[in-house]
């Protein structure tokens, strides 16, 4: 599942504001589908892969290894900032929900190519969803309990010019709020490109790149609707970076 992230944040040691899904909605869906999603493991492996990808790209560009202290600073700074962007939370929840629905239909006793039409259908659904979000050109931002619709971009001469938006971010260490800027259009655009690229790979019959069996083998998703209620704010706090074996899994 592509979740674009800015790797320069890690190499600079600057914090990343993570957007988490609606855990309650996901648990209800898992009960309905008779699945168990280990959200903690899901995010732990996501962080692990993100760090590895960053280290690889950093070395390709600079010919030097990335300083581990910068990774620690990035992670520690990221763990203490929180913001409520319900619009993005709902959209992220939709992406994972649709993946779970896809996963529940897979017969893992069959060959990989047997479920590729399902994967292509999933990609098409997400591509259309993201395309609609971009074309609607609206993101609802909540500031001081007031929800205000903002434009993702300005369009001039058939070109998109992304808007920079400001949100209130809470720092759990200082117990203070501060304003941070972000460009939500890039999130949707990156996701759109990622799913479009994955669809191209699927149409080219790159079966080995999309082995959903790995989710089961690594115990991220299993049968059984046991609930996994995790406070989203603790997902990062529960990750011990020093004990994280940095080797790509998924």
DSSP codes of every residue in 71-110: HHHHHHHHHTEE---HHHHHHHHHHHHHHHHHHHT--TTS
Contact 29, 21 (CB under 8 A): no
In a domain, 234, yes or no: no
First-to-last CA distance in the chain?
A: 10
Q: What is the pLDDT of residue 143?
A: 65
Domain, as residue range, for 72: 7-210
Contact 240, 43 (CB under 8 A): no
Q: What is the pLDDT of residue 250?
A: 40
In a domain, 220, yes or no: no
Contact 153, 117 (CB under 8 A): no
| Strands annotated E in 92-212 | 139-143, 146-150, 153-156, 159-162, 165-171, 176-182
Spatial distance between the Cα atoms of 67 and 78, rounded to a whole number of angstroms: 17
In a domain, 34, yes or no: yes
In a domain, 95, yes or no: yes
Residue 51: burial class (beta carbons within 10 Å; 0-12, 13-18, 19+):
buried
Which of 143, 218, 154, 215 has its CA nearest to residue 183? 154
Rg (the chain; Cα; Å): 19
pTM of the model: 0.87
Domains contained in the chain, number? 1
Per-residue pLDDT of the chain (250 residues; tens, 9 = 90+): 445 567 788 888 888 888 888 988 998 999 999 998 988 888 888 888 888 888 888 899 899 998 888 898 899 899 999 888 888 999 999 999 999 999 998 887 777 777 888 899 999 999 999 999 999 999 888 766 677 889 999 999 888 899 999 888 999 999 999 988 889 999 999 999 999 999 999 999 887 788 888 888 888 998 876 555 567 777 888 888 877 765 544 4
Q: Phi-psi bin for 188: left (phi > 0), alpha (psi -120 to 50), beta? A: alpha
Q: What is the pLDDT of residue 227?
A: 52
Q: What is the pLDDT of residue 140?
A: 84
Contact 239, 41 (CB under 8 A): no
């Amino acid at each position: 599942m592509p979740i674009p992230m800015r790797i320069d944040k890690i190499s600079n040691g600057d914090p990343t504001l993570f957007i988490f899904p609606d855990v309650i909605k996901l648990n209800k869906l898992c009960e309905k589908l008779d699945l168990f999603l280990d959200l903690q493991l899901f995010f732990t492996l996501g962080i692990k892969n993100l760090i590895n990808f960053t280290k690889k790209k950093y070395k390709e560009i600079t010919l030097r290894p990335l300083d581990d202290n910068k990774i620690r600073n990035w992670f520690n700074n990221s763990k203490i900032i929180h913001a409520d962007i319900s619009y993005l939370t709902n959209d992220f929840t939709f992406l994972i929900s649709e993946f779970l629905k896809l996963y529940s239909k897979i017969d893992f006793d069959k060959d990989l190519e047997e479920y590729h039409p399902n994967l292509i259908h999933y990609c098409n659904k997400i591509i259309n969803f993201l395309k609609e979000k971009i074309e609607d050109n609206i993101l609802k931002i909540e500031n001081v309990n007031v929800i205000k619709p903002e434009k993702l971009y300005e369009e001039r001469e058939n070109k998109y010019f992304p808007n920079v938006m400001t949100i209130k971010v809470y720092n759990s260490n200082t117990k203070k709020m501060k304003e941070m800027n972000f460009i939500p259009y890039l999130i949707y655009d990156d996701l759109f490109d990622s799913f479009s690229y994955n669809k191209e790979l699927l149409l080219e019959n790159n079966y080995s790149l999309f082995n959903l069996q790995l989710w089961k083998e690594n115990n991220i998703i299993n049968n059984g609707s046991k609930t996994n209620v995790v406070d989203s704010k603790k997902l990062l706090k529960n990750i011990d970076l020093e004990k994280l074996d940095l080797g790509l899994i998924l």
